[in-house]
Amino acid sequence: MKTKVAIIGSGNIGTDLMIKILRLSESLEMSVMVGIDPNSDGLARAKRMGVSTTSAGVDGLLTLPEWPEIKLVFDATSAKAHHYNWEKIKAFPDKRMIDLTPAAVGPYLVPPVNFQDNMEVPNVNMVTCGGQATIPIVAAINRIAKVHYGEIVASIASKSAGPGTRANIDEFTETTAAAIETVGGADKGKAIIVLNPAEPPLVMRDTVLTLSDQGDRATIQNSIHEMVAEVQKYVPGYQLHQEVQFDDIPKDKPVFIEGLGLRHGLKTSVLLKVVGAGHYLPEYAGNLDIMTSAARATGERIVENFYLQQ
């Protein structure tokens, strides 16, 4: 029997997540789509697909007859709105929340890296699109050679950045940098986002740069390839753009890293690209696709490890 879920946020991310659940999930059942704009395309599409809707936000959700049976709530709104939504949802101990905003109320979660540590937490945060794409790589390197510095650059098509993404730019960099440290394992993290205005729009590209202790390069490379394969299980369009590159930073020519001082070691460069599945959004919107795919994968794992065991 499938577990019923609700999505708060009828914009691009929420709508794409809804379609993924309807088309792909064997354990999640779409129950309610929640929005605040009664004329939004997401609510209209939900109605056409037989999903109950409300345009009264989270307060409207709590009044619906479907609410008692819903176990998982996905929040695809904004960092600011999530704080309000969570205040309402946390009053119901039988509900779990998966946060797709950079609010970071709950612990950061990247499915192939730290799901087991957070599967029973009532509110988990999916970091950011850049975080979901790059933190697995930082973690893959860190499990072989201690990462002291991790820097990521996420380049996304400007057309794929809606009002929510643009409003959360500061939270994006802060949340991603913090998760590079707490989830990826780096001593120091830095995140940069680029909104690429190119026409036609380009797919999401991510660059991961780490400075770590010296380690066997073939072992590090294998660890990265294994992690890419894990992510591809739920994001088929996730791939290495070219082979992993290594450079030595010698002890007599160290680099200065703010907050860490002069450091030497092994520099690893990883170039990625993420092509969207095209369920609701264009293929170039891989940044949105990886968020919705990671959220769906997290929801399914929570159901498999928690609700189905009861």
Question: pLDDT, tens digit, for every residue of 130-144?
Answer: 999 999 999 999 999
Asked if omega into 200 is within 30° of 0 (cis), the reply is: yes
Strand partners, 156: 195
Q: Mean pLDDT throughout 154-159?
A: 96
pTM exceeds 0.75 for this model? yes
Where residue 119 falls among pLDDT bands split at 50, 70, 90? confident
Sole residue written with tokens 């929801």: 299
Strand order in the sheet with 52-54: 52-54, 28-34, 3-8, 72-75, 96-99, 123-125
- pLDDT mean across residues, the chain: 95
- pLDDT of 79 reads 87
Q: Which residue has the higher pLDDT, 70 or 164?
A: 70
To the query of whether residue 307 is one of the catalytic residues in this protein, the response is no
pLDDT in tens, 248-283: 999 999 999 999 999 999 999 999 999 999 999 999
pLDDT in tens, 235-249: 999 999 999 999 999
Tell me which DSSP letter residue 108 carries: B
Q: Is pLDDT at 303 greater than 70 in this prediction?
A: yes
- pLDDT of 39 reads 96
CATH 3.30.360.10 assigned to 129-283:
yes
Which amino acid appears at position 87 of this protein? Answer: E
Rounded to the nearest 5 degrees, what angle is found at the Cα of 269, between the Cα atoms of 138 and 261?
75
Q: How many whole angstroms separate alpha carbon 202 and alpha carbon 285?
A: 8
Q: Which of 28, 97, 129, 274 is catalytic?
A: 129
- pLDDT of 204 reads 97
Question: Are the C-beta atoms of residues 272 and 251 closer than 8 Å to each other?
Answer: no
Q: Is pLDDT at 99 greater than 80 in this prediction?
A: yes
Range list for CATH 3.40.50.720 in the chain: 3-126+290-309
CATH 3.40.50.720 assigned to 3-126+290-309:
yes
Q: Is pLDDT at 306 greater than 80 in this prediction?
A: no
Q: Among 65, 70, 13, which Cα is nearest to 42's?
A: 13
Where residue 308 falls among pLDDT bands split at 50, 70, 90? low
- pLDDT of 95 reads 96
Q: Mean pLDDT throughout 14-35?
A: 97
Q: Is pLDDT at 54 greater than 80 in this prediction?
A: yes
Strand partners, 257: 261
Sole residue written with tokens 């087991």: 116
Range list for CATH 3.30.360.10 in the chain: 129-283
Q: Mean pLDDT throughout 67-78?
A: 96
